[in-house]
């Protein structure tokens, strides 16, 4: 279980989160784990970095023991907004994923916001439930290509962030991690310009400073996601306001994912 007291989110400088989405199979996972475990054995991790993999919930059992104390946290891609067991067919609770030592959960990914029309209130509740169960919520926000073309990117993202600044207590907000993922960059190979990501991160941070004040807002962790790979990850980490990367497709290749981790840690150390 993640310990917010021992490891305050604000003190973790480098975040690299892989999001497998609906990929994997028992066989694929075995090969992946074998390669990943061999590679991380010889890699240099920094105590102020947090690396994690969000895999489909059905595979948590397969991964859980194997990743224990191996510098790669296990995470889920989704949890129920309900905290107590009950008549919620298909839902998986925070308590359930906790049994597999999940440290984090992705909340509000655009693929879920759009396909399942998750309401903002549901997303805020999911963040609350995850914090209550000592799981870091990784909250995704981002604009569509239409929003951007119409000049509405900033207001759309601000509005998404506001749901959380208004719905969560300040002390809870500082235990959340946010991920800016422009929809047009997800799975397209068309990543955002690092300077544009930096600009949006600044806008997001200004929302936090309205409720938290400038200094605590500076400590909120904001990741960039959207076609991140080992060949472009350094450019993002070089931006002062980018604290990490949420990596989709590229995290499905163990060797590529390890390269991303390695480059991210080294770039932050030299920042």
- Rounded Cα–Cα distance for residues 267 and 244 (Å): 11
The one among 52, 142, 194, 226 contacting ligand PGA by CB under 6 A: 226
Q: Which of 109, 198, 201, 207 is catalytic?
A: 109
Q: Which residues is 73 bridged to in the sheet?
A: 52
| Comparison of 33 and 228: residue with beta carbon closer to ligand PGA | 228
Q: With contacts defined by CB under 6 A, name the span among 94-102, 151-159, 199-207, 226-234 that binds ligand PGA.
A: 226-234
Residue 20: partners with Cβ closer than 8 Å, 6 or more residues away:
53, 54, 55, 56, 77, 251, 252
Residue nearest to ligand PGA (CB): 248
Length of the chain equals 271
Task: Give yes or no for residue 227 binding ligand PGA (CB under 6 A).
Answer: yes
- Rounded Cα–Cα distance for residues 106 and 113 (Å): 12
- Rounded Cα–Cα distance for residues 22 and 19 (Å): 9
The one among 248, 261, 263, 264 contacting ligand PGA by CB under 6 A: 248
Give Cα separations from 48 to 81, 194, 237 (angstroms).
Answer: 30, 23, 15
| Comparison of 250 and 265: residue with beta carbon closer to ligand PGA | 250
Is the CB of residue 197 less than 8 Å from the CB of residue 29? no
The one among 225, 230, 263, 268 contacting ligand PGA by CB under 6 A: 225
Task: Give yes or no for residue 194 binding ligand PGA (CB under 6 A).
Answer: no
- Rounded Cα–Cα distance for residues 47 and 69 (Å): 12
Q: How many helices (H) and strands (E) does the chain have?
A: 12, 8
| Comparison of 112 and 266: residue with beta carbon closer to ligand PGA | 112
- Rounded Cα–Cα distance for residues 269 and 271 (Å): 6
Interface mask toward ligand PGA for 17-56; x: CB under 6 A:
--x-------------------------------------
Closest CA to 21 of 67, 78, 63, 62: 78
Task: Judge whether 109 counts as a catalytic residue.
Answer: yes
The one among 67, 183, 186, 258 contacting ligand PGA by CB under 6 A: 186
The one among 36, 51, 141, 246 contacting ligand PGA by CB under 6 A: 246
Least distance (Å) between residue 246 CB and ligand PGA: 5
| Residues in 53-72 at the binding interface with ligand PGA, rule: CB under 6 A | none
Q: Which of 78, 111, 181, 207 is catalytic?
A: 181
Task: Give yes or no for residue 143 binding ligand PGA (CB under 6 A).
Answer: no
Least distance (Å) between residue 176 CB and ligand PGA: 17
Name the 3-class secondary structure at 85. coil
Kindly list the catalytic residues: 109, 181
């Amino acid at each position: 279980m993640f310990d917010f007291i021992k490891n305050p989110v604000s003190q973790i400088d480098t975040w690299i989160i892989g999001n497998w989405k609906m990929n994997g199979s028992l066989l694929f996972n075995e090969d992946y784990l074998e390669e990943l475990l061999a590679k991380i054995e010889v890699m240099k991790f920094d105590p102020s970095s947090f690396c994690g993999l969000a895999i489909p919930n059905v595979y948590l059992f397969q991964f859980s023991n194997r990743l224990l104390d191996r510098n790669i946290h296990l995470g889920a891609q989704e949890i129920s907004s309900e905290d107590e067991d009950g008549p919620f067919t298909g839902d998986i609770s925070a308590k359930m994923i906790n049994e597999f030592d999940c440290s984090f959960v992705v909340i509000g990914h655009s693929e879920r916001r759009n396909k399942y029309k998750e309401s903002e209130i549901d997303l805020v509740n999911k963040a609350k439930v995850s914090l209550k169960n000592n799981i870091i919520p990784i909250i995704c926000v981002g604009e569509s290509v239409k929003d951007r073309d119409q000049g509405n990117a900033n207001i759309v993202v601000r509005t998404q962030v506001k749901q959380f600044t208004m719905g969560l207590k300040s002390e809870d907000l500082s235990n959340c991690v946010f991920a800016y993922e422009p929809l047009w960059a997800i799975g397209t190979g068309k990543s955002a310009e690092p300077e544009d990501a930096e600009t949006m991160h600044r806008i997001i941070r200004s929302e936090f400073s309205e409720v938290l004040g400038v200094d605590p807002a500076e400590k909120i962790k904001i990741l960039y996601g959207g076609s991140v790979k080992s060949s472009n990850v350094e450019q993002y980490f070089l931006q002062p306001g980018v604290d990490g990367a949420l990596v989709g497709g590229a995290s499905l290749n163990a060797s590529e994912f390890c390269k991303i981790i390695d480059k991210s840690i080294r770039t932050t150390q030299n920042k």
